[in-house]
């Protein structure tokens, strides 16, 4: 059985795990990232963490094929560089070269959302399909596009940013500098924003009642639960949310025509309530009505997708 190390490099924590060739985590651990420190220090900590998880899994470095890293932002896969990672304050960091000072193994890097998509493709909801797209509905909207079993991120590593597809020209301002991006309408943040507005103007709504008027307590679940219970304001928000999500999914299908689209992130906990509404509206708006089209499903791996997918970079390379 071949073994790989996967590293989930985040702005808050660095997770690392030893993963077998089937995508099973044998052992994992995590440490705080401590952003703001020199990158050399952070990468040394990462090296120590990797050695620790290998040892605690009962192996030595020579048993491991490679190290894969899922990073926020843009990666240069060839050079194992992180080109740009906003929430780490990193630009043009030679991660591979630096990390090999501590653990001498091949290092692969890709964007964190891409590796999460790869994990779903290898051993999660998209297992067994050649072409898949995973979209993660959280604070923002992340996405991983897998074509012929490999993550696709374009010619410069900047691709697969489906969260920044523009679905409303001159719409709501986005953190990327444009207006009307998909994630402004389909993230958990969007549900919270609209839930707060509704609770303000309709204090009689279930959304306002659930949080007893404390608008800061409104989260995606509060809004979706209100819709489930048939609350008028909750349903209005949910229907609009499904409408925008459908338009994005239709666009993804029109461009990629994947076998399957997995939906993850906090909002996906709504499960069948979300899927049923989506399936219904996607059927109405699909272009080629006589052809089969991408199946929609809920992603399976949750937070482990980061470590698993990063590890699998070594398997597919």
For 291, residues 6+ apart whose C-beta sits below 8 A from its C-beta are: none
User: DSSP letter string over 283-295?
Assistant: HHH-S-TTS--PE
CB of 4 to Zn ion, least distance (A): 33
Q: Could you give the string, one character per residue 88-117, with x where binding to Zn ion holds by CB under 5 A and - elsewhere?
A: ------------------------------
Query: How are the residues of the chain apportioned to helix, strand and coil, as percentages rounded to the nearest 5?
Result: 45, 25, 30
Q: Which is nearer to Zn ion, 164 or 315 (CB)?
A: 164
Q: Which is nearer to Zn ion, 127 or 251 (CB)?
A: 251
Q: Which is nearer to Zn ion, 103 or 162 (CB)?
A: 162
Q: Which is nearer to Zn ion, 28 or 164 (CB)?
A: 164
CB of 192 to Zn ion, least distance (A): 17
CB of 115 to Zn ion, least distance (A): 21
Using only C-alpha atoms, the chain has a radius of gyration, in whole angstroms, of 20
CB of 182 to Zn ion, least distance (A): 8
Residues 90/73, Cβ–Cβ less than 8 Å = yes
CB of 190 to Zn ion, least distance (A): 12
Residue 138 pairs in a beta bridge with: none
Q: Which is nearer to Zn ion, 174 or 296 (CB)?
A: 174
Residues 233/205, Cβ–Cβ less than 8 Å = yes
Q: Which stretch binds Zn ion (CB under 5 A): 56-64, 143-151, 156-164, 253-261?
A: 156-164
Closest CA to 65 of 8, 108, 16: 108
Closest CA to 223 of 193, 261, 259, 184: 193
Long-range Cβ contacts of 73-76 (<8 Å, 24+ apart)? 73/111, 74/111, 74/156, 74/157, 74/158, 75/109, 75/110, 75/111, 75/153, 75/157, 76/109, 76/157
User: Count of residues binding Zn ion (CB under 5 A)?
Assistant: 5
Q: How far apart are CA 142 and CA 140, in angstroms?
A: 6
CB of 152 to Zn ion, least distance (A): 19
Interface positions, 159-218, toward Zn ion (CB under 5 A) = 164, 174, 176, 178, 181
Q: Which is nearer to Zn ion, 178 or 219 (CB)?
A: 178
Q: Which is nearer to Zn ion, 176 or 316 (CB)?
A: 176
Token pair in block for residue 118:
């790869």
Cα 55 to Cα 9, 60, 182, 215, 254: the distances in Å are 20, 6, 43, 47, 47
CB of 299 to Zn ion, least distance (A): 22
Q: Which is nearer to Zn ion, 85 or 310 (CB)?
A: 85
Q: Which is nearer to Zn ion, 174 or 211 (CB)?
A: 174
CB of 159 to Zn ion, least distance (A): 14
CB of 1 to Zn ion, least distance (A): 42
158 binds Zn ion (CB under 5 A): no
Residue 31 pairs in a beta bridge with: 14
Q: Which stretch binds Zn ion (CB under 5 A): 140-148, 158-166, 236-244, 273-281?
A: 158-166
Q: Which residues in this chain contact Zn ion in the complex, by CB under 5 A?
A: 164, 174, 176, 178, 181
């Amino acid at each position: 059985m071949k073994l790989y190390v996967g590293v989930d490099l985040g702005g808050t924590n660095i997770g690392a795990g030893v993963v077998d060739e089937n995508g099973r985590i044998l052992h994992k651990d995590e440490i705080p990232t401590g952003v703001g420190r020199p990158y050399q220090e952070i990468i040394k900590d990462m090296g120590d963490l990797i050695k620790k998880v290998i040892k605690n899994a009962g192996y030595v470095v020579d048993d491991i094929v490679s190290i894969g890293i899922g990073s926020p932002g843009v990666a240069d896969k060839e050079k194992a560089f992180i080109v740009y990672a906003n929430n780490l304050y990193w630009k043009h960091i030679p991660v591979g070269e630096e990390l090999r000072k501590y653990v001498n193994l091949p290092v692969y890097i890709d964007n964190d959302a891409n590796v999460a998509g790869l994990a779903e493709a290898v051993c999660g909801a998209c297992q067994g399909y050649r072409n898949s797209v995973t979209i993660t509905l959280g604070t923002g909207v992340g996405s991983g596009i897998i074509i012929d079993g490999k993550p696709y991120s374009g010619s410069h590593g900047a691709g697969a940013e489906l969260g920044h597809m523009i679905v409303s020209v001159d719409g709501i301002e986005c953190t990327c500098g444009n207006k009307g991006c998909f994630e402004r309408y389909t993230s958990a943040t969007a549900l919270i924003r609209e839930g707060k507005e509704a609770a303000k103007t309709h204090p009689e709504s279930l959304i306002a009642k659930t949080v007893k008027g404390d608008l800061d307590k409104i989260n995606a679940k509060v809004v979706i639960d209100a819709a489930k219970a048939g609350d008028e304001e909750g349903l209005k928000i949910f229907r609009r949310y499904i409408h925008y999500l459908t338009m994005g999914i239709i666009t993804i299908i029109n461009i990629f025509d994947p076998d399957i689209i997995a939906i993850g992130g906090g909002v996906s906990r709504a499960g069948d309530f979300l899927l049923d509404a989506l399936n219904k509206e996607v059927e109405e708006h699909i272009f080629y009505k006589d052809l089969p089209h991408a199946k929609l499903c809920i992603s399976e791996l949750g937070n482990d997708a980061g470590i698993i997918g990063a590890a699998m970079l070594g398997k597919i390379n």
